[in-house]
Amino acid sequence: MLLDEVRNSAYARAIKGLVGPETTVLDLGAGLGLLGLMAAKAGARQVYLVDPSPVLLDVESVIEANGLGDRVSIILQPIEAASLPEKVDVLVSVMTGNFLLQEDLLPTLFFARDRFLKSTGTLVPAKGTMVAVPVTLARPERHPAFRLMRAIQGLDYDSVRRRFVNRVQFERFFESDALYLAAPEPLATLDFSIADKAAVDTTTTFRATANGRLDGLLGWFDMDLGDHALSTGPQAESVHWKQAFMPLETPVSIRQGEEVQFSLNRPERGEWTWSVSVGGSVQRMSTFFGYRPDIEAFERQAPGHVLEDTPESVSARFVLERIARGVTRKEMERDFLQWNERHLVDHPSARTWLHQFLDRFSC
Amino acid sequence: MIASAETFRCKPDVLFQEVSGEIVLLDLVSERYFGLNSTGARVWQGLSEGRTTEEIISGLAKEFDVSGAQLDQDVNELLEELMQAGLIESA
């Protein structure tokens, strides 16, 4: 993303318009710190770069090389665990996934906003709008949902086609990849300053502007950066975000002027479900049908399920008890491997497991 | 207690798929998943095909060696649970 010049320029313009000599800025999920450093360079009084990934430590040399050490602080922690000495005027981030909601990063943005942004503060970006358009794919055979309508090497795979029909395909689409059958329409807008759920449940009606085969809907999002916008659609300058193709189970022919009703439901961290209604016939697809559910996993998640130990939880208890007692790493390894020999036979993986566990749960 | 003559239908916002004879349900309204064992799956399939409660019970009676009263009770209990969970509604 560091090299996404289109995105970087759009953010730079927004940041320059917001930052003054008294401005404080939080760069959430900073990564290599570009957005926060742009704010520092634009003259912000103080910038906090927050990210749990050690990649953030590499930014120290960048800060030094650019002479920004007096105004940039690095906080190597998840935002939920971070503490800042003050609330900030500007919260800048790239918590928007493909088609806005993929990756489920927005709840983290909402958390950071509520905890660290002044009531008069500004978010960059300010809003995200999901957009979609009914399309004919230029090469439908590239999508397994349609390719599997025909045999592969003489073998009939149509019975598993359903899995692919019910998946959202996140891929880079260019204008030539999909013929629009109507004008793109906004589906929903999330105002990041007030939203508390990264979810969508909406119905939109398109009017066909051409005759054609409706293969599915192509979706993306547009970002509101204050006085200008950045689109992640196929018609816009190429950015690192991908578009979302939501196929129909069975493509249908539509005529110019005909209405296409499209409903999209996606709860936070939940399944994508979309339905398309044309001329009284409705098709409903859902990522719920895109995989084979693990019944045992569902049973384990039931509220009434009685929890049982696993070999790993027994090992964890053994180790945690000794940490509380105060043993050295060497003593721990000796005790653990002796104990483990009586329970498991896989010695090398037991040692690896122990040290990973100790790195995480001891200091 | 639900009367056998009553008829129910699966709510339109409940998605389901069969996995190894059992059924996994997803309620799009409550955003919750549910599981039905093989017998519950037969009841759900019957509901999704538009069968009446009586038809579902008589279909199960042909397959399982259980008294009619017991079957009535089991199916009715399941239907009540499905109602309470908001997964079915009166037809």
A295–B33 C-beta distance less than 8 A: no
A271–B26 C-beta distance less than 8 A: yes
What is the structure's pLDDT at A305?
Answer: 86
Q: Measured between alpha carbons, how far is B65 from B55 in angstroms, rounded to an integer? A: 17
Per the listing, tokens 């290599």 go with A32
Is residue A300 exposed (0-12), middle (13-18) or buried (19+ Cβ within 10 Å)?
exposed
Contacts of B27 in chain A (CB under 8 A): none
What does the buried/exposed string (b/e) look like for A158-175 if buried means 16 or more CB atoms within 10 Å of the residue's CB?
Answer: eeebeebbbbbbbeebee
What is the structure's pLDDT at A198?
Answer: 96
A283-287: average pLDDT: 97
What is the structure's pLDDT at A289?
Answer: 96
What is the structure's pLDDT at B1?
Answer: 58
Q: Measured between alpha carbons, how far is A6 from A217 in angstroms, rounded to an integer? A: 25
What is the structure's pLDDT at A333?
Answer: 94
* pLDDT beyond 60 at A113: yes
Distance from CA of B9 to the nearest CA of A (A): 18
Average pLDDT, chain A: 94
Helix segments in chain A, DSSP class H: 5-18, 34-41, 59-65, 106-116, 144-147, 161-165, 295-301, 311-325, 329-341, 347-361
A148 neighbors A141 (Cβ within 8 angstroms): no
Q: Which residues partner with A49 through β-bridges?
A: A27, A74
- The DSSP bridge pattern shows strands A243-254 and A212-224 to be antiparallel
Q: How large is the angle between the packed helices A347-361 and A311-325, nearest 10 degrees?
A: 50
What is the structure's pLDDT at A298?
Answer: 77
Q: How confident is the model at residue A288 (pLDDT cuts 50, 70, 90)?
A: very high
A286–B17 C-beta distance less than 8 A: no
What is the structure's pLDDT at A344?
Answer: 60
A302–B15 C-beta distance less than 8 A: no
Q: How confident is the model at residue A339 (pLDDT cuts 50, 70, 90)?
A: confident
Amino acid letter at A1?
A: M
Q: Which domains does chain B have, with CATH numbers?
A: 9-90 (1.10.10)
What is the structure's pLDDT at A347?
Answer: 59
A298–B24 C-beta distance less than 8 A: yes
pLDDT in tens, A231-273: 999 998 889 999 999 999 999 999 999 999 999 999 999 999 9
Q: Does the N-terminal peptide bond of residue A125 adopt cis geometry, omega within 30 degrees of 0?
A: yes
What does the buried/exposed string (b/e) look like for A11-29 if buried means 16 or more CB atoms within 10 Å of the residue's CB?
Answer: bbebbeebbeeebbbbbbb
CA separation, residue A127 to residues A99, A112, A195 (Å)? 13, 16, 9
* Interface contact A286, partner B, CB < 8 A: yes
pLDDT in tens, A175-192: 899 999 999 999 999 999
Q: Look up the pTM and report it.
A: 0.85
Average confidence (pLDDT) per 10 residues, chain B, 91 residues: 74 93 92 90 94 91 83 92 94 83
Q: What is the ipTM of this complex?
A: 0.85
Nearest CA in chain A to B38: A295
Q: Measured between alpha carbons, how far is A106 from A118 in angstroms, rounded to an integer? A: 18
